Amino acid sequence: MVIAKARAVDGPDQSFHAAEITRREIDSQDVLIEIKFAGICHSDIHTAHGEWGPVNYPLVPGHEIAGIVTEVGSEVTKYKVGDRVGVGCMVDSCGECVNCRKGEEQYCLKGNVPTYAGVDKYGEPTQGGYSTHIVVTEDFVVRIPDGMELDAAAPLLCAGITTYSPLKHWGAGPDKKVAIVGMGGLGHMAVKIAAAMGAEVTVLSQTLSKKEDGLEFGAENYYATKDPETFEKLAGTFDLIINTVSAKLDMDAYFGLLTLDGTLVNVGAPAEPLSVNVFSLIGHRRSFAGSMIGGIRETQEMLDFCAEHNIGPKIEIISADQIDEAYKRVLASDVKYRFVIDISTM
């Protein structure tokens, strides 16, 4: 058993505090990881604030985890001590259902085991990456490519895969016009990945304040959604729109930007329901879809893709004592573009 140092929160309106958590004894197929960096995802905030439903506190969030293997179980074959590895949003699934067998463990019919705020196969609550160590079954661990820094790898484990998966599934590539709504943690990775896939990328951000960055990340166009003319000018333009916004939007306005047969994929997960006027969809055979992270195999593929194309997140490293401040800044859309906790400051 390992006692890990962590940062935990005790309720929706509480601040983070230092805590100690117990990680299970490693089983034959487990690896023990010494965490070096953990990204702060907006999902951590939704969860910590209890916006998605009741949570068992104390809660240690964090599902963008990068670290080093320090111990392996007797039957582990994929990893050895010293390997550089990552863990994303889930740490287990049934492994037997049709979706797990396809490598889409995130859609496990019995429900995947989330990295935090879940319950593992031993009946214990899961706790995330704002901590010094974690024990994970090897099948839910991915390898960080050589040459990719651990701090930059961390955000790819959620922000990277959550945008890579729908971009690939819906065919982002040459001759495709793709719009990314919201340029925060997920959004800025979506811009870089879609551009690397060869698509013509447009950013739809609230204002033009981050335009220079967006163009540098690979976008060809950048528009402010606060300007109503944007919606007139871009009507019927995009084959694919990825909406990464964490708050409720007027969806019909965005559906109007899709081409015939275009698809808007929501990865943003606001607590409030989004409303749809079906006439915004039926007129041009448009689709409204959702997508959740990606499977383990696809997560490895995404890491290798990012290494090959030399892309990664733009990050701001913080210490463990700055988590509350970072949450406030994310909520104010004041993040460029992912906060990453240096776990050595625990």
- Residues 35-54 binding Zn ion (CB under 5 A) are 41, 43
Cβ closer to Zn ion: 205 or 246? 246
- CB-facing half-sphere around the CA of 47: CA atoms within 13 A: 24
Sole residue written with tokens 């163009």: 215
Within 142-161, which residues bind Zn ion (CB under 5 A)? Answer: 158
- Binding-residue total with ligand NAP (CB under 6 A): 28
Please select the residue that binds ligand NAP; options are 38, 41, 87, 154, rule is CB under 6 A: 41
- For residues 73 to 112, the per-residue mask of contacts with ligand NAP, x marking binding by CB under 6 A and - elsewhere, is ----------------------------------------
Q: Nearest approach, Cβ of 251 to ligand NAP (angstroms)?
A: 12
Print the binding letters for residues 174-193 with ligand NAP: x by CB under 6 A, - otherwise: --------xxxxxx------
- Contact pattern for ligand NAP over residues 270 through 299, marking x by CB under 6 A: x--------------------xxx------
Token pair 């859609």 is found at 107
Strand runs labelled E in the chain: 2-8, 17-23, 30-39, 65-72, 84-87, 90-92, 113-114, 133-137, 142-143, 177-181, 200-205, 221-224, 238-243, 258-266, 287-290, 315-318, 338-342
Tell the smallest beta-carbon distance from residue 65 to Zn ion (Å).
11
- Which residue in 131, 132, 162, 280 binds ligand NAP (CB under 6 A)? 162
Minimum CB separation from ligand NAP for residue 64, in Å?
Answer: 9
Contacts (Cβ under 8 Å, ≥6 apart) of 130: 6, 7, 8, 16, 38, 60, 61, 62, 320, 323, 341, 343
Residue 267 in contact with ligand NAP, rule: CB under 6 A: yes
Residues in 300-339 at the binding interface with ligand NAP, rule: CB under 6 A: 330, 333, 335
Report the C-alpha gap between 160 and 203 in whole angstroms.
17
Give residues 122-161 in contact with ligand NAP (rule: CB under 6 A). 158
Question: Counting Cβ atoms within 10 Å, is residue 282 exposed (0-12), middle (13-18) or buried (19+)?
Answer: exposed
Residues 215-244 that bind ligand NAP (CB under 6 A): 244
* 106 binds Zn ion per the rule CB under 5 A: no
Separation between Cα atoms, residue 308 and residue 191, nearest integer Å: 16
Binding footprint of Zn ion, residue count (CB under 5 A): 3
205 binds ligand NAP (CB under 6 A): yes
Neighbours of 332 (CB within 10 A): 8
Of 45, 26, 27, 247, nearest in space to 130 by CA: 45
Residue where the block lists tokens 């559906």: 255
Q: Which residues bind Zn ion (CB under 5 A)?
A: 41, 43, 158
